[in-house]
Chains A and B, each alone.
Chain A
Amino acid sequence: MTTWGYSISRPRSIDIDRNDMSYSQELLREYPELQTCIACGNCTATCTAANLTSFSLRKVHTLVRRGEYQGMAEELEKCMLCGKCRLACPRGINTRQIVLTLKKHLVNRSR
């Protein structure tokens, strides 16, 4: 078969109507303090992995909260679990624990 190199772009929009928000809601029930995130980026600013890779816990967290799980487990592999983010978080969120929990739950969801 001849391939012409064309492809169809998937829509980039986050569609809340279609996304499965159930895991996002489950996560919030388990860690209600996640809701207090003010997206300041302090976790990413202090992050050892973010200094070397494109990893951003703030972004991963926001995507999960919108029901976007694809690729998240792979993203979380970049975290070295050093826990500096937890020391920096002004809302007192146990960010390291969040990473561990997300990794455990999302490994089956993200494909």
Chain B
Amino acid sequence: MTGRVIIIGGGVAGMQTAITLDELGFKPVIIEKEASLGGKLCRWDRLFPTMTPAQEVLGDLLKRVEKTASEVRTSTTVSEIEEQGRGVTLSDGSRLDAEAVVVASGFDIFPAERKEEYGYGLYDNVYTTVDVERMFREGGVRMADGREPKTVAFLHCVGSRDEKVNQRHCSRVCCITGVKQAIEVKQQIPGAEIFSFYMDMRMFGPGYEELYRQAQQQYNIHFVRGRISEASPTIDHRIHIKAEDTLIGRPLRMSVDMLILAVGMQAGSSNVAFGRNNNIDLYPSGFLRPLNQFSGNVRSSSPRLFYAGTVTAPKNIGESINEGIAAAYQVAQTLNAAKS
């Protein structure tokens, strides 16, 4: 027994898996494709619904990982997971054996360029919610020419619930992200008029509905039910948008200084390669299908292959961290039973 457990991915789920496995007496090895741990959390500014600085959550996890005996291999990717979870092949061709493997490789951000009708990457002043997080980290939302926008439109469900880009699922967290950012823009620019184009508002977490209500009542964000069909640039570098106000049943047009696309979560690009393992099953969405959606969310059909976090479905940070704990305990249970 080496006690070695390979964790693929060093985001919040992977880091938490390592922390708990270490507590339980195992030797976690985190394989992270980027140069440092943290995953997508490194890119966020403040977290919904409490506006907690992302750095606070990240810093805490990093500190706790550091205290463990975990081995961390950054800038390394996994090209193959062995059938029974007894090892992986790394991108350099070398093999790393293990007692179990936890797949915590996360999700990819939907590339907004694929929704060409919104002009992301084509026109000035069309951004994604991911860009907005970066702008907030860099000091605030600015248009391409450096001025603050006076009219801002958010569009929800970009790359979610959309058959045209093969993303039929709901990404769950974009609704609340859009609401959070609308509030933040309003806090930065109190005079700005903000319109939020939505299909449904899915406020699934504690405090989310309350934040939505705050956005409506306290921050006067205008919520318009309807999907923007297209965006086009105006001669003065603004964005003209077309939608239907579906609560009225008439087309609606307006021009805005900035259009922000609430991009969804799509299945991680490595999932297809992982799916070559016969014990790893994929949903039609490309996310990995756990053994049982109710009682086996962190298990695969192989007893030594586990999942944690958004590799199986869109989740928020708290849920992903919880799955890290759950996966670690399930690993311990399996390995301890094998030992005795």
> Which residues of A approach B to under 8 Å, CB–CB?
12-17, 28, 32-33, 35-39, 58-59, 62-63, 65-66, 68
- In the complex, the answer to whether B252 meets A66 with C-beta atoms within 8 Å is yes
Q: Report how far A6 CA is from B77 CA in the complex, Å.
A: 69
A35 touches B247 (CB 8 A): no
**Is B292 close to A, CB under 8 A?**
no
Whether A15 pairs with B254 at a CB distance below 8 angstroms is: yes
Shortest Cβ gap from A40 to chain B (Å): 11
Given the known interface contacts A28-B220, A32-B217, the answer about A16 and B253 at a Cβ–Cβ threshold of 8 Å is: yes
7 new A-B contacts, CB < 8 A, other than A13-B252, A35-B220, A62-B247, are: A15-B254, A17-B254, A36-B217, A39-B225, A65-B222, A66-B245, A66-B252
Q: Judge whether A14 and B253 touch: CB under 8 Å.
A: yes
Given contacts A36-B216, A65-B222, contact A59 B247 (CB under 8 A): yes
B217 pairs with A12, CB closer than 8 A: no
Q: Is the beta-carbon distance between A14 and B247 smaller than 8 angstroms?
A: no
Q: Do B252 and A58 touch across chains, with their CB atoms under 8 A apart?
A: no
Instruction: Name B's interface SS.
Output: strand
Complexed CA–CA distance, A28 and B223 (Å): 14
In whole angstroms, how far apart are the Cα atoms of A6 and B220 in the complex?
Answer: 43
Contact partners of B248 in chain A: CB under 8 A: 14, 59, 62-63, 66, 68
Interface residues of B in 113-165 (CB under 8 A from A): none
Are A62 and B217 neighbours in the complex by a CB distance under 8 Å? no
Measured CB to CB, the closest approach of chain A to B229, in angstroms, equals 12
Q: How far is the CA of A36 from the CA of B251 in the complex (A)?
A: 23
Whose C-beta in chain B lies nearest to the C-beta of A91? Answer: B213
What is the size category of the interface that chain B forms with chain A? 10 to 19
B63 at interface by CB-CB < 8 Å: no
In the assembled complex, which residues on chain A have CB atoms less than 8 Å from the CB atom of B67? none
21 pairs of residues in contact across A and B, judged by CB atoms under 8 Å = A12-B251, A13-B250, A13-B251, A14-B245, A14-B248, A15-B252, A15-B253, A16-B195, A17-B253, A17-B255, A32-B220, A35-B217, A36-B216, A36-B217, A39-B225, A39-B247, A62-B247, A63-B248, A66-B245, A66-B252, A68-B248
Residue of chain B at shortest CB distance from A16: B254
Chain B positions within 8 Å of A, measured between CB atoms, are 195, 201, 213, 216-217, 220, 222, 225, 245, 247-248, 250-255
Q: Which residue of A lies closest to B238 (CB)?
A: A17
Find chain A residues with CB under 8 A from B201 CB: 38
Taken together as a complex, chains A and B put the C-alpha atoms of A62 and B249 apart, in Å, by: 11
In the assembled complex, the CB of B244 is this many whole angstroms from the nearest CB of chain A, namely 9
Most buried by A among B247, B250, B254: B247
CA distance A16 to B195 in the complex (A): 11
Bound CA span A59–B248, Å: 6
Residue ID in chain A nearest B213 by CB atoms: A36
**B201, B216, B225 — which one has the most chain A CB atoms within 10 A of its CB?**
B216
- Bound-state Cα–Cα, A32 to B215, Å: 12
- In the assembled complex, which residues on chain A have CB atoms less than 8 Å from the CB atom of B247? 39, 58-59, 62
In the complex the two chains form, what is the Cα distance from A68 to B251 in whole Å? 13
CA–CA, A59 and B246, complex, Å = 10
Chain A nearest Cβ from B213, distance in angstroms: 6
Measured between C-beta atoms, what is the minimum distance from B241 to chain A in Å? 10
The 8 A-B pairs at the shortest CB distance, nearest first, are namely A16-B254, A14-B252, A13-B251, A35-B216, A62-B247, A36-B216, A36-B217, A35-B217
CA distance A59 to B217 in the complex (A): 19
Residues of B near A68 (CB, < 8 A) are 248
- Could you say which residues of chain A place their CB within 8 Å of the CB of B245? 14, 62, 66
